[in-house]
Amino acid sequence: MSSRIARRPFLASAIFTLLFSLGSAAQAEWPEKPIRFIVNAAAGGAADGTARVLADGLSKRLGQPIIIDNKPGASGVIGLDTVAKAAPDGYTIGNSNLATYIVTALTAKSLPYDPAKSFTPIAKQWTQPNLLGVSPTIPVKSVADLVNYAKTHPGEIFYGSTGNGTALHVLGALFANLTGAQITHVPYKSAPAAELDLAAGQIQMMFSNFTSMEPQVKAGRINALAITGPNRSPMLPNVPTIREAGYPDLEMETWGGVVGPANMPPAIVEKLHREINAVLSDPEVIKKHEKLGAKVAPVSIADYRQMLNADSARWGEVVRRNNITLN
């Protein structure tokens, strides 16, 4: 009897070891079928474009198709909810970015998922600065000029954004907080629609994504006062950084990354992270991102998580101070 009892722990240990080995082997063979990549934006835009560049390279490295599935709507919530509710087996991943992953979570009154618990951060992919542009109809040539003009014309400066509770709305509110300027928010359905009114003088200023506003600046329809990233852009080398313009606390870059459902196997997360970073080191992939106005920006998973927490804290403070809510 005693020998049987003694053998039980050994058998249990052997069974556990066997199951662990089988699980590790199954994960080592991953992926064995196509992977669905949920993009929470419409086809044809910058978010879709960067996702397709990544999917193409990742498919070649993993040996399986990466199928783009566009699910736009509700400020990115529909796409992220699809990811959150997917099986955590590595066969569904999705894009994330500052606007949809952080700001929407802060400004939405309710969400069908828990932003802090429903996802697995996998990799940071790219960054992109914004531009601060003004209408040619107002006599300002610098950020300092704009602040002075706004203070001497209280209530006469209107700034556009891509909607209530969006990242560009929050950035405009931060500008008002830091400068003391009395400016009024005007929400639009898209950046191009707001920029059209900016060029015509219907609104006087706005922060907009670089890809959208840069052609308008080059065409002379909008005057760019500053770029919000840490460096000047070779596409607009005469436009100073917001730090050079005297407002370092307005420095920000929007970013894009990849997430999966919560509770993904660590081995699959690490493999995805490693392969995504390998794709992003390809010179051709770097060039394709640059053509879309983005810069590849791979970091470790730990740094990616830290960035998410830091952005949530930073923009949460602005949202609460200004009582900003989503449409």
Assign domain 129-250 to its CATH superfamily: Periplasmic binding protein-like II (3.40.190.10)
Q: What is the pLDDT of residues 238-266, one digit of tens each?
A: 999 999 999 999 999 999 999 999 999 99
Q: What is the DSSP letter of 248?
A: G
- Res. 20: pLDDT tops 70: no
What is each CA distance from 48 to 123, 185, 251, in whole angstroms? 17, 28, 25
Indicate the range of 14-23, 201-210, 211-220, 313-322 predicted with least confidence: 14-23
| Distance in Å from the first CA to the final CA of the chain | 71
- Quote the CA–CA distance of 309 and 121 in Å, as a whole number: 11
* CB of 199 closer than 8 Å to CB of 216: yes
In this predicted structure, the answer to whether residue 12 has a pLDDT above a threshold of 80 is no
Question: What is 4-73 written as a DSSP string?
Answer: HHHHHHHHHHHHHHHHHHHHHHHHHH--SS-EEEEESS-TTSHHHHHHHHHHHHHHHHHTS-EEEEE---
pLDDT at res. 23: 45
Q: What are phi and psi of 176, to 5 degrees?
A: -65, -40
Specify the domain boundaries for CATH 3.40.190.10 within the chain: 129-250
pLDDT for 106-138, tens place per residue?
999 999 999 999 999 999 999 999 999 999 999
Specify the pLDDT at position 21: 45
Q: Give the model confidence (pLDDT) of 41-63 as tens digits.
A: 999 888 899 999 999 999 999 99
pLDDT at 16: 47
Residues 6+ apart with CB under 8 A from 172: 159, 161, 183, 185, 206, 207
| pLDDT of residue 19 exceeding 60 | no
Contact indicator for 301, 308 with CB cutoff of 8 Å: no
The predicted model gives 71-93 an average pLDDT of 96
pLDDT in tens, 205-248: 999 999 899 999 999 999 999 999 999 999 999 999 999 999 99
The pTM assigned to this predicted structure is 0.86
Q: Which residue spans of the chain are classified as CATH 3.40.190.150?
A: 34-127+253-322
- Contact, 217 vs 208, CB < 8 A? no
Homologous superfamily assigned to 34-127+253-322: Bordetella uptake gene, domain 1 (3.40.190.150)
Among residues of the chain, what percentage have pLDDT more than 70? 91
pLDDT of residue 7: 52
DSSP state of 236: B
Chain centre to alpha carbon of residue 102: 8
Identify the pLDDT of residue 137: 96
Cα dihedral 94, 98, 99, 104, rounded to 10, equals: 80
Confidence of residue 28 (pLDDT cuts 50, 70, 90): low
26 — pLDDT class (breaks 50, 70, 90): very low
18 against 168, higher pLDDT: 168
